[in-house]
Structure 1
Amino acid sequence: MPRISAATVADHRAGRHAALLAAALEILVAEGPAGLTPAAVGARVGLARSSVYRYFSSTADILAQLVEDAVPRWRARLAGVTSGPGDLRGRVREFGAVTLSFVSSPDYAVLRAVVSAELPPGCRVRLDELHETMITPLRDVLAEAGHEHPDLVAHLGWSILGEGRRRLAAGADPEMVRETTLDVLCRAMAV
């Protein structure tokens, strides 16, 4: 029987799962999607590939769980900047700034991998649901401000931010892209 390194078996499994996710993210950042395999993740934490399958059913499952891990963290940051004090323009601008900062985060490697990965339809549906939760804080702040069509306006704003993220990821001048994107976002939101 393997030794557990926590007070309970459940805590041990949770710790091992977290270590495997961290290793998977490190591999994605360093090697890209081609380097991400259950065997590589296991090797990174000193676990046999067969043991990794107790936590993940496939490489696609590793990606899906990385998304499930990252999105709530980013959604919380987005909700935090839109729910705080300040005028509408400041809150929209902060939402945009946090969204653009995603590009410089290791979590961005997950997004890039998921976009190009062949995932089962159920995973795609779940990704769409998670994506929608990222837009919710902007939609909520727009609804609070009395926008007639907060959902549409929030999605249009997300598209503006998407182009900003794409340009940042491609290596464009970060300051110029950030300031121009945030300016266009605020104008589009009529704030």
Structure 2
Amino acid sequence: MSSKPPSLTERRKAATQLDIARAAAELFTQRGPGGTTAEDIAERSGVALRTFYRYFRNKQDAVGPLLAAGGDRWRALLAATEPGAALPESLERAMREALAVPDEHAADGLRQTRALLRAAAADPALRAVWYRVNQESEEKLLPVLTRLAGPDADELRIRLAAAAATDALRVALEVWAATDAGLTGPGSPVELAVRCLRELVGGMRSPAE
């Protein structure tokens, strides 16, 4: 069953949050989190400070929507997969597509993630946002995998698959961000993510086996 489409109010809220997130990312890249204030972010994004705090708890929290974007795209691709497909293959296929760079917009998204993860290395509050985003992504992945695996699938197996897949993506992006590897080819996000995924879920069998 398809979910109810977001209302106009919800779409406007999401658009405002994304504008603020982009402004925060730009400032963090230019000045670092330590050199950026919530007031700076609000001014750059063209909103009042009270509006900023309506959506985000602190300046680091503001980049959450950007850090979550990759996981959101990956889950949407998985959700479009037909039920009954083998989980490892479905996860890898969606991961490859989610981390592909077919255009400059996708390339910019990955570069932005790299800049934020590099900034997070020296900012515990920003790292905490990254970990929270990944935990939330794992929780949202569970119902998607449950639907794919079918009603007779083992719950423990589904939970392990969700945890392993989420960690595969997280570790791959962290390792890539710490290097100067390109967006494609050896050492790229997709190459690392697929390697991690195969290591973590390679022993899983399809539900029918």
- Shared fold (TM-score, shorter chain, > 0.5): yes
Matched residue type, 2:49: V
Tell me if the contact between 2:164 and 2:201 (Cα under 8 Å) persists in the aligned partners: no
Alignment pair present for 1:25 and 2:25 = yes
Shift of 1:13: 9.2
Alignment pair present for 1:83 and 2:65 = no
Tell me if the contact between 1:82 and 1:137 (Cα under 8 Å) persists in the aligned partners: no
Q: Which has the higher helix share?
A: 1
User: Identity percentage over the alignment?
Assistant: 17
**Structure 1 residues 126 and 165, CA gap change in structure 2 (3 angstroms):** closer
The residue that corresponds to 1:66 in the other structure is: 63
Tell me if the contact between 1:96 and 1:182 (Cα under 8 Å) persists in the aligned partners: no
RMSD: 4.6
Segments of 5+ residues of structure 1 without an aligned counterpart are 1-11
Tell me if the contact between 1:95 and 1:138 (Cα under 8 Å) persists in the aligned partners: no
The residue that corresponds to 2:36 in the other structure is: 36
Shift of 1:141: 5.5
Alignment pair present for 1:162 and 2:158 = no
Shift of 1:27: 1.3
**Structure 1 residues 92 and 176, CA gap change in structure 2 (3 angstroms):** closer
Alignment of 1:2-21 (within 5 A): 19-21=19-21
The residue that corresponds to 2:198 in the other structure is: 183
Shift of 1:128: 7.3
Tell me if the contact between 2:23 and 2:44 (Cα under 8 Å) persists in the aligned partners: yes
State the distance in 1 between where 2:44 and 2:162 align. 40
Shift of 1:144: 2.8
Alignment pair present for 1:151 and 2:195 = no
The residue that corresponds to 2:146 in the other structure is: 140
The residue that corresponds to 1:55 in the other structure is: 52
Secondary structure at the counterpart of residue 58 of structure 2: helix
Tell me if the contact between 2:67 and 2:130 (Cα under 8 Å) persists in the aligned partners: no
**Structure 1 residues 168 and 134, CA gap change in structure 2 (3 angstroms):** farther
State the distance in 2 between where 1:163 and 1:126 align. 14
Tell me if the contact between 1:97 and 1:182 (Cα under 8 Å) persists in the aligned partners: no
**Structure 1 residues 110 and 118, CA gap change in structure 2 (3 angstroms):** closer
Tell me if the contact between 1:19 and 1:45 (Cα under 8 Å) persists in the aligned partners: yes
Shift of 1:162: 2.9
State the distance in 2 between where 1:124 and 1:22 align. 16
The residue that corresponds to 2:96 in the other structure is: 97
**Structure 1 residues 155 and 99, CA gap change in structure 2 (3 angstroms):** farther
Alignment pair present for 1:130 and 2:136 = yes
Secondary structure at the counterpart of residue 55 of structure 1: helix
